[in-house]
């Protein structure tokens, strides 16, 4: 996804924000699972993060 917002319509910008929010939520969820696993050993081990999830 292009990060160039020059000439982007409000809809394009909203889609970029929604995409980032979605992926950021996935990262937070995965990190939360890792924290639970490290603390009590009951949460499943999360899968490695795909490359597209590190850009948020």
pLDDT tens track, the chain, 56 positions:
555 556 667 778 788 888 877 777 777 777 777 676 666 655 555 556 555 555 54
User: What whole-number distance in Å separates Cα of residue 44 and Cα of residue 26?
Assistant: 15
pLDDT of residue 31: 73
User: What whole-number distance in Å separates Cα of residue 56 and Cα of residue 21?
Assistant: 8
pTM of the model: 0.32
Neighbours of 25 (CB within 10 A): 11
- Contact assessment for residue 36 and residue 6, using Cβ atoms and an 8 Å cutoff: no
Neighbours of 28 (CB within 10 A): 11
- Contact assessment for residue 46 and residue 34, using Cβ atoms and an 8 Å cutoff: yes
């Amino acid at each position: 996804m292009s990060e160039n917002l020059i000439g982007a319509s409000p809809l394009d910008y909203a889609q970029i924000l929604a995409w980032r929010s979605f992926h950021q939520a996935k990262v937070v969820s995965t990190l939360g699972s890792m924290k639970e696993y490290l603390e009590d050993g009951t949460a499943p081990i999360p899968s490695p993060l795909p490359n597209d999830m590190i850009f948020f």
